[in-house]
Amino acid sequence: MDDSSFIPAAIAWILAIAVIIFVLVTIARSIRIIPQATAGVVERLGRYHKTLEPGLNLLVPFIDRLRPLIDMREQVVSFPPQPVITEDNLVVSIDTVVYFQVTDARAATYEIANYLGAVEQLTTTTLRNVVGGLNLEEALTSRDEINGQLRVVLDEATGKWGIRVSRVELKAIDPPVSIQDSMEKQMRAERERRATILTAEGSKQSQILEAEGQRQAAILKAEGDKQAAVLRAQGEAEAIQNVFASIHQGAPDDKLLAYQYLQMLPKIAESSSSKLWIIPSELTEALKGIGTAFTPRSGGGAPDGPQHGA
């Protein structure tokens, strides 16, 4: 093969390779695979054409241009601490966390140049407006209300950008150092006061319970003494009645009966519960018999007995 035939063959090979490369590049630019949870905005000749969904998509080579993909998942952004002046002229440092999600890729691309920076600036401005109308105590105790107000304002403002704000959280509210020291002293004093109150309440309850226990014990003791005295008196009364019944059943004469009555009187007197003595009528008759027995007979005669001669 001479040189005159080699040159056209080489040119042909070069052209064939160039065509193959052009075809491959064209195919590569025509096929786009969009990952899940992302979206791609396509511009045709510099104007918005369509939004690509996840999966395999075809483009017109050299006419359609795919812009950078947009993450459609919910994003969490923590902004640096921002100084905010409260209603009582105190500067507090507030850390904010925003949860948002891109819902319209086209609006997020063309309605705002940098939606992340816009969300940060809008959060800072809204935070200053909301907290600026509260004093320090209200700002520290009204986090839920502040979060709700921030979310409503941000969601309304970012809706035209194709962004939905789902949550706004105040991660930290840091008052000035001097205020923190004062708050710490106040909380310490409050804790000590509560501890003192709880101790006093415990002591009070303990004394009340102890007094109640002593009262119940005294009542029970008095009831026991009362029952014992009643039972003792009933026993002594029954014993006396049994003695009287036994004596009457034996049909004693007046002298024996009077003697038995006289023996029982000291025992009746010994009882601490005997406040009233019951003296049967037989006792008086017996005493009369004893008196008659020991009293001399009328007429100056001597008592009956053996007579001894002079």
Question: 217 in a domain, yes or no?
Answer: no
Identify which of 134, 142, 145 has the alpha carbon closest to the alpha carbon of residue 85: 134
Query: Average pLDDT of the chain?
Result: 79
pLDDT at 294 over 70: no
Q: 174: which strand partners?
A: 93
pLDDT at 300 over 50: no
What is the extent of the structural domain holding 37? 12-70
Is residue 229 within 8 A of residue 271, CB to CB? The reply is no
| pLDDT digits 0-9 by tens, 191-234 | 788 888 888 888 888 888 888 888 888 888 888 888 888 888 88
Question: 200 in a domain, yes or no?
Answer: no
The CB density around residue 146, as the number of other CB atoms within 10 Å, is 22
Rounded to two decimals, the pTM is 0.53
Q: Which of 144, 175, 206 is the last residue of a domain?
A: 175
The token duo for 103 is: 């819902």
In this prediction, residue 43 has a pLDDT band, given cuts at 50, 70 and 90, of very high
Distance in angstroms (rounded) separating the CA atoms of residues 119 and 164:
11
Is residue 97 within 8 A of residue 78, CB to CB? The reply is yes
Q: How far is CA 6 from CA 2, 12, 40, 97, 220, in A?
A: 6, 10, 49, 71, 133
Q: Beta 31-34 vs 38-44: how paired, if at all? A: unpaired
Distance in angstroms (rounded) separating the CA atoms of residues 306 and 310:
13
The token duo for 72 is: 């459609």
Look at the chain and count its residues.
310
| pLDDT digits 0-9 by tens, 59-95 | 888 888 899 999 999 999 988 888 888 888 888 888 8
Distance in angstroms (rounded) separating the CA atoms of residues 37 and 72:
5
| pLDDT digits 0-9 by tens, 128-169 | 888 888 888 888 888 888 888 889 989 898 989 999 999 999
Question: 108 in a domain, yes or no?
Answer: yes
Q: Which of 175, 192, 211 is the last residue of a domain?
A: 175
Query: What percent of the chain has pLDDT above 70?
Result: 75
Q: Domain holding 160: CATH number?
A: 3.30.479.30
Question: 94 in a domain, yes or no?
Answer: yes
The whole-number pLDDT of residue 205 equals: 87
Distance in angstroms (rounded) separating the CA atoms of residues 34 and 54:
4
Question: 164 in a domain, yes or no?
Answer: yes
The whole-number pLDDT of residue 141 equals: 84
Q: 47: which strand partners?
A: 44
In this prediction, residue 308 has a pLDDT band, given cuts at 50, 70 and 90, of very low
Region of 56 (left: φ > 0; alpha: ψ -120 to 50; beta: rest) is beta
Q: How many domains does the chain have?
A: 3
Does residue 43 share a domain with residue 129?
no
Question: 228 in a domain, yes or no?
Answer: no
Question: 284 in a domain, yes or no?
Answer: yes
In this prediction, residue 292 has a pLDDT band, given cuts at 50, 70 and 90, of low
pLDDT at 251 over 90: no
* Locus of tokens 């519960």: 273
pLDDT: which is higher, 65 or 296: 65
